[in-house]
Amino acid sequence: MDLTVADTIREIIRGHIAENDGVVLGQCLSAVGWIQNTIPAQTEGLIELPMTDVAGAGMAVGMAVAGRRPIFVIRYQSFLWLNSSPIVNYAAKCKEIWGYSCPVFVRAIADEGNGLGPVHSNCYHSIFMHMPGLPVCAPMTPGEYRQIWDWYMTHDDPLFVSEHRRCFRSAEELPDIVSDRSVFTIYAASAARFTAREAVRMLAEQGIVCDLVNVLWLKPFELSERTLAPLRRTGKGLMLDSAYEVAGAARSIAYELMDATGARVRALGMADRSPGASRHLENGTPTPERIAAAVKEMLT
Amino acid sequence: MMSRDLRRPDLGAIPGLAATWPEARTLELFRRLCEIRHFDLRVRRGQIEKDVDTLIYLSVGQESVAAGVSMAMRGSWLLGQHRGHSFYLAFDGRREPLVDELLGLPTGCCGGMGGSPPIHDIERRIVGHIGLIGDQVPVAAGIAMARPGERVVSVFGDGAAEEDYVLATLGMAASRKLPILFVCEDNDLSVLTPTRDRREWLLADVARGFGIEAVDIADDPWLVAHWAETLSDRLPAVMNVRTCRGLWHVGTGSDDNADWDRFALVRETLAELGLADKAAAIESETEKGVEELWTSRLRTRSAK
C-alpha cells in the first residue's frame, strides 16, 4: 500500500531522530492522533513545549543555532501569529547578520472548514513570503515532501513548510497537466491543487481544455520552462491558492508570471472576509465552481 | 517589599566579602570592570566625534554586573541583550571585530549589519541579539536543550523581564532543570519609565514561584561574582542585580542622576584593601589599551 503524505512525514521524522540526532518541538505532539498521524508515537526525540506561543519558536531557534536541525510543529497556522517573530526576525536573518545558519524546519499546518471558525480556519503562508531569508514551500504529495526534506537537509537555511490537512491522507502524486490543445493555464498551490484538478475536469467536460501547473515553491517561485511555456502558449492564466487573495501568495506569483511572460494572469484565493464556523459562512480554498467561473470569465 | 525599596547599593551585601578574595583575583575582576568602562567611554567619544553613527547602547555605570558574572561563567554560552558591550567584553569576545562593527566596517562582527544590539562572537559562544528585548531568552533555553551538560548565561533587563518570552522560559527552565543562569541587569528603567510605573512584582519572587533559586542583590562586583559562582552548580537560577545606568538608554547623553556610582565605590573598596596603586595602574593600562585598539581600527578604516 502506498504511503500517504502523513505516513511520509512520520517516517521522515522517525529517521531524523534516529539517524541525525534530530529533534521535534511542538505543543500537544502526543495528543490524540499524534497530529493526524504525522508524528511517530514515541518519546525519544520529541519535546513537548509548554503552551507558550510566544517563546516556543525561540526555543526551536536556539536548538537550530546549536546544530540540532529541529522540526518545529505548528498544529494550526493561526498559532503562527504569536510564534512568528523568532522565525522571521531570528532564524531568517541569522545568516545575513551573523554569517551562521539557523536551519529550523517549520511545519505549519493549515486547515479550513470543519467548524474551525474565524481564526483557525485559514492558511497564513503569504505573510512569511514577505520576509527575506525564509524559503516557503507547500508540498501536497508524498514525493514532494521527500523532495523538500532533501532540500532542507542539503541546505543551511530555515524552511517554512506550509502543510494542509487536506493532503495528509492522500498517497497520490499530482503531476502537471499540459496539453497543446489548452486554451488556458491554471497554476495552483496548497489545497487548491486538489480543487484545481476537479475544475480542470469540469471545464474539459464543457469543452474548455486547461493546463494545470503545480506550484510547490511559493518563495522563491520557480520561473522555468515548466512553469512559463504553457502560459506563453495560452496567453491567459489564473493563480490559485488556499490563503487570502489580497496581498497574498496568489497575487504575488501572478505578478511574477505576468512580468515574465506578458500574459494576463489573475489570482484567486480566500475572499477578503473572516471565515465563520457555520457552513454557510465558510471561506476557504477556491472551490472547483469558483475556479471554473473565473476561467470562463477570463475567456469571454 | 516594593522594587523601589530594594534600590540601594548594599542590597544583599556580605560584609568583608572582598577581603576574602585573593589579591590576583580581585585585580582581575577590576581589570574586566575597567576594560568595559573605558571601552564604552571610548565608544561614546566615537559617537560624539562622529566616528560611530549607528545606534549605541552603553553599559557605563553597569560594568560590574558583567565583570562579576564572567568571573564564574566565562566560557559558557552567552546570550546578551541590546546593551551588550559589557558582557561581550567580559566573556572575552574578540575586540577588533567589535570595534569594526561599531565603526560600520565590513570586518565588523556583523559585517556592519547591526551596530550595538546584535554583536556576537559565535566561536566563543557569544550569540547575537536581534534587538527585540527578551526574545533571546527562549533561544537560550533552546541551546540548553540542544547541548546537554553545557551551561548558558541569559542576560536581560528589568524591562525585558516583563516580556512573555522571559516568563515562559523561566517555566520551561524550571520544568526541565535547564542549566541556565538568568541575569537581570535591573537599572530600574525601561527607556525612562521606572519599574514602579510598570509592575508591582519582583522577578526573584516570580522565579521562586517557578521553583527556581533566585537572589536579588546590588551590583557590588564581588557579590555578583560570589552568587554567580554559588549558583553555577545549582542551575537554573536567577540573579536580579540592581545597578545604575550612567548614560541615556541610547546614545551618549547623561542625566547625571544615578542612585549610586558603583565604579567609585569599587575604587573605595580597593583602597581599603590596600590596592589603590595597583588598581590605578590597571585603570591606566586598560584605558591606554582601549585607545590603542581604537586608534588602530580608525587608521584601518581611513586606509580603506
A133 interfaces chain B, CB cutoff of 8 Å:
no
Does B127 sit within 8 Å of A58, measured CB to CB? no
Name the minimum distance, in Å, from the CA of A57 to any CA of chain B. Answer: 8
Name the minimum distance, in Å, from the CA of A56 to any CA of chain B. Answer: 7
| Alpha-helical regions (H) of B116-185 | 136-146, 164-176
pLDDT tens for chain A, 300 residues long, are: 799 999 999 999 999 999 999 999 999 999 878 999 999 999 999 999 999 999 999 999 999 999 999 999 999 999 999 999 999 999 999 999 999 999 999 999 999 998 999 999 999 999 999 999 999 999 999 999 999 999 999 999 999 999 999 999 999 999 999 999 999 999 999 999 999 999 999 999 999 999 999 999 999 999 999 999 999 999 999 999 999 999 999 999 999 999 999 999 999 999 999 999 999 999 999 999 999 999 999 999
CATH of the domain at B44: 3.40.50.970
Average pLDDT, chain B: 95
Amino acid identity of B37? R
B173 interfaces chain A, CB cutoff of 8 Å:
no
Residue B33's nearest CA partner among B299, B303, B262 is B262
pLDDT for the residue B5: 81
Asked if B243 and B62 touch (Cβ cutoff 8 Å), the reply is yes
The grid coordinates listed for B71 are 568571573
Residues whose CB is less than 8 angstroms from the CB of residue B114 and which lie 6 or more positions away in sequence, other chains included: A97, B54, B101, B108, B128, B131
d(CA A193, CA A188): 5
Parallel, antiparallel or unpaired: strands B189-190 and B193-194 = antiparallel
Name the minimum distance, in Å, from the CA of A84 to any CA of chain B. Answer: 12
Is residue B162 assigned to a domain? yes
Residue intervals of chain A classified under CATH 3.40.50.970 are 5-167
Confidence of residue B4 (pLDDT cuts 50, 70, 90): low
Asked if B237 and B177 touch (Cβ cutoff 8 Å), the reply is no
Tens of pLDDT, residues B30-78: 999 999 999 999 999 999 999 999 999 999 999 999 999 999 999 999 9
| Alpha-helical regions (H) of chain A | 5-20, 34-37, 56-65, 80-85, 94-98, 117-120, 125-129, 142-153, 192-205, 225-234, 249-261, 288-299
Asked if A7 and A37 touch (Cβ cutoff 8 Å), the reply is yes
Q: Is the pLDDT of residue B215 over 70?
A: yes
CATH of domain A184-299: 3.40.50.920
pLDDT for the residue B301: 87
The grid coordinates listed for B158 are 528589568
> Rounded mean pLDDT of B252-278?
94
Report the number of distinct structural domains present in chain B: 1
Tens of pLDDT, residues B146-195: 999 999 999 999 999 999 999 999 999 999 999 999 999 999 989 889 99
pLDDT for the residue A135: 98
Q: Is the pLDDT of residue B3 over 70?
A: no
d(CA B159, CA B155): 12
Residues whose CB is less than 8 angstroms from the CB of residue A280 and which lie 6 or more positions away in sequence, other chains included: none
Radius of gyration from C-alpha coordinates of chain A: 19
Interaxial angle between packed helices B136-146 and A56-65, expressed in degrees from 0 to 180 and rounded to the nearest 10: 50
Collapse the DSSP code of A241 into the 3-class scheme (helix H, G, I; strand E, B; otherwise coil) and give the result.
strand
Does A55 sit within 8 Å of B142, measured CB to CB? no
Q: Is the pLDDT of residue B1 over 70?
A: no
Residues of A in contact with B116 (CB under 8 A): none
Residues of A in contact with B165 (CB under 8 A): 54-55, 58
Residue B79 sits at the vertex; the CA angle it makes with B74 and B80, to the nearest 5 degrees, is 95
> Rounded mean pLDDT of B231-250?
95
Residue intervals of chain A classified under CATH 3.40.50.920 are 184-299
Collapse the DSSP code of B177 into the 3-class scheme (helix H, G, I; strand E, B; otherwise coil) and give the result.
coil
Does A62 sit within 8 Å of B145, measured CB to CB? yes
pLDDT for the residue B16: 96
B128 interfaces chain A, CB cutoff of 8 Å:
yes
Q: Is the pLDDT of residue B247 over 80?
A: yes
pLDDT for the residue B257: 85
d(CA A9, CA A27): 17
Q: Which domain holds residue B246?
A: 3-11+24-299
> Rounded mean pLDDT of B130-142?
96
Is residue B18 assigned to a domain? no
Counting residues of chain B whose pLDDT is more than 70, the rounded percentage is 99
Is residue B210 assigned to a domain? yes
What H or E segment, with its residue span, contains residue B218? strand B213-218
A97 interfaces chain B, CB cutoff of 8 Å:
yes
Which of A62, A99, A100 is facing B140, going by the closest CB pair?
A62
Tens of pLDDT, residues B65-117: 999 999 999 999 999 999 999 999 999 999 999 999 999 999 999 999 988 98
Residues whose CB is less than 8 angstroms from the CB of residue B84 and which lie 6 or more positions away in sequence, other chains included: B57, B59, B116, B117, B119, B129, B155
CA end-to-end distance (rounded Å), chain A: 45
B110 interfaces chain A, CB cutoff of 8 Å:
yes
Is residue B169 assigned to a domain? yes
B177 interfaces chain A, CB cutoff of 8 Å:
no
Q: Is the pLDDT of residue B126 over 70?
A: yes
Q: Which CATH number fits domain A5-167: 3.40.30.10, 1.20.120.790, 3.40.630.10, 3.40.50.970?
A: 3.40.50.970
Q: Is the pLDDT of residue B139 over 90?
A: yes
B175 interfaces chain A, CB cutoff of 8 Å:
yes
